[in-house]
Amino acid sequence: MFQSQCITLFSLCALISGYSEEDRVRDLMSRYPLIDGHNDLALQLRKHYNNHLNHINFYDIKEIATDISRLQMFSVYVLCGAQEKDAVRLTLEQIDVLKRMCTQNKDFELVTSTQDSHLKHKIACMLSVEGGHSIDSSLPVLRMFYQLGVRSMALTHTCNTPWAESSSKRYSFYQRQNNSLTTFGRAVVEEMNRLGMIIDLSHTSWGTAQAVLKLSKAPVIFSHSSSYSLCNSDRNVPDWMLKELNRGLIMVNFHSNFISCKREANISLVADHFDHIKNIIGVDSIGIGSDFEGAISFPKGLDDVSKYPALIKELLQRNWTEQELADILRRNFVRVFDEVEKVKRKKKKNFTKHPDSPSASDQHGPSALHILLTAVLLLSTLSLL
């Protein structure tokens, strides 16, 4: 009752002053430009344009939902089927197209540190590799990705790697063992801390995520995940793990399947995830990670980036303060990135103590299904000889 009265009073005052809720949202988002933790634009550039940028108008792309007027962490993603084949090459091609997009357009700026993230009048691009299979179990490849401008990496996507495990059971390249990290997986975490690369735990198994949370010296993020308590998908984060984030960040995913566990959802249900996480761990560990251009279905009224203001308006109507909204729009992520860079500076003179690749004994073994398929393929080949 009291909340309803407050909303009504604010609306009346806004009407009298001529300053609408929409004006308030626009002003807030102008002062605190959004940082979205996950956008798969590069995947769509490859799908629709084969990475040819010369004739693309990034402000009028009909095949793509992204309205390039906000700050985005652009995902560098290759399919799990490329693991131990051409994943590194394909990842480099995705990095190349995003770097060209962000450096050849006067309205774009490539962000590689918190010193760059203050930009408010350009489109800030931050590169994030989505899936540890992209480094092909090689620390030198990880280091080179960093040199090319990558500042975040998800340890897995929908497949296990030889050293970390996915929340998904879609692919069975490697057996799940103890739901954790191998010795080399721990080396990847420590090297990312040393480099100043943000560790992303979206798509990892809970066991792997928990192991990383205990090991990492820098705060980590879930770049596009939501609350497991409200939607019991393995891609979401349970309350007990939220409490272990330790000033890390969960950036709420808009994909309907992770909001309502159905193909349909609405803005109110998305706001429920923000409310729940705020009640569990406070506002300092919440951000926005839409998954635009990657997911299939989005809540009604929140189907592309032009609709961000509708979510902010909904949260305002739920009595979120402007300072809290400034935190989830921008300041929380900048704070995490800054703390990651502080850990880097502490480790600056340290060289990695780990081998550049895992030993044969330090890997999740191939799954029974993977072995069976390999055997069938081999027998089929022999029968043709």
The residue count for the chain: 385
Residue 315's pLDDT band, with cuts at 50, 70 and 90, is very high
The residue assigned the tokens 């909340």 is 3
pLDDT exceeds 70 at position 151: yes
* Structural tokens at position 372: 């069976």
Task: Find the mean pLDDT for residues 129-153.
Answer: 97
Residue 46's pLDDT band, with cuts at 50, 70 and 90, is low
109-118, 273-282, 365-374 — which one is most confidently predicted on average? 273-282
Q: What percent of the chain has pLDDT over 90?
A: 54
> How far is residue 50's CA from residue 172's CA, in Å, rounded to a whole number?
29
Chain segment 200-225, per-residue pLDDT in tens: 999 999 999 999 999 999 999 999 99
> How far is residue 342's CA from residue 137's CA, in Å, rounded to a whole number?
26
The residues, any chain, with a CB within 8 Å of residue 227's CB and separated by 6 or more, are 236, 237, 239, 242, 252, 273, 276, 277
Of 32-41, 98-107, 160-169, 375-384, the least confident: 375-384
Cα angle 267, 270, 273; round to 5:
155
Task: Find the mean pLDDT for residues 313-331.
Answer: 97
- What pLDDT is attached to residue 119? 54
Chain segment 113-139, per-residue pLDDT in tens: 887 755 556 778 889 999 999 999 999
- What pLDDT is attached to residue 234? 93
Domains of the chain, CATH where assigned? 33-348 (3.20.20.140)
Of 11-15, 138-142, 171-175, 326-330, the least confident: 11-15
Q: Which residues are catalytic?
A: 38, 40, 130, 157, 203, 224, 291
Task: Find the mean pLDDT for residues 50-60.
Answer: 57
Residue 59's pLDDT band, with cuts at 50, 70 and 90, is low
